[in-house]
Structure 1
Amino acid sequence: MPERRKFSREVKLAAVERLLAGESVAALARELGVVHKLLHHWRAKYLAGGAEALRSPGHHPRGAAVGPPREPPDLEQARARIAELERKVGQQQLELDFFHKALRHVREKRQPSDGPGASSSTPRSKR
């Protein structure tokens, strides 16, 4: 059985930030060489506990402080709000892409109004 790869908190955090910005899970999983379930797991841990939740378990001596000191609650709230807004921006970009494609599709299907058999742009007179 191959040895499990270990990823630093920075790598995990960067991956989660890319996901929250709307990047494809499948593309990111291919790029990092991991299964998509692992990316979903990292994202869930981050959403539940922030960057602190992405640390590697079991690699800290007993009694030692784990990671940097806790940030003040207002800073944590600000970071959570930033992550939420980044998710929204990513979602909006996906929606914009969808509507651009739909508009292009409609324009391609629309008949030109100046070709043979086209109706005039003004109503007919009733003389």
Structure 2
Amino acid sequence: MTRETRRRFSRAFKLAVVERLAAGESGSALARELSIKRGLLYRWRDHFRAGGELALRPGPGRPKQAEARILAAARGPASSASDLEQARRQIAALERKVGQQQLDLDFFKHALRHLEASRQASDAPGATASSPISKR
């Protein structure tokens, strides 16, 4: 049995791949082109989003203690930036929901006005009314 050796990718290579993903290229097409698993590309993208360029380590395995401290320090502002971005997305979703509810309210107000207008026309003097209920 032959055992495949693990490929090592440089930080510059990973950064270039992440930039191509951010530019809108398909992850599947990019993975096929580079002969890399698609999940790995998205993992690099997530690491980059979480900790910037420093989070794209040049090799496999866990980071050394000194490198881990640098990454932890780098994640501070990046995580608050991602929290801010998440809050903005949530605000946008809520604004869309409020807009949809306003459209629904406007529709039902118009329908109610239309219904009331049609009722008033039949209640006018001289209009035919329904026959009264007999009380036997």
The alignment's TM-score, normalised by the length of structure 2, stands at 0.43
**Whose Rg is larger?**
2
Higher normalized helix content (fraction of residues): 2
More relative contact order, 1 or 2 (CA 8 Å, 6+ apart)? 1
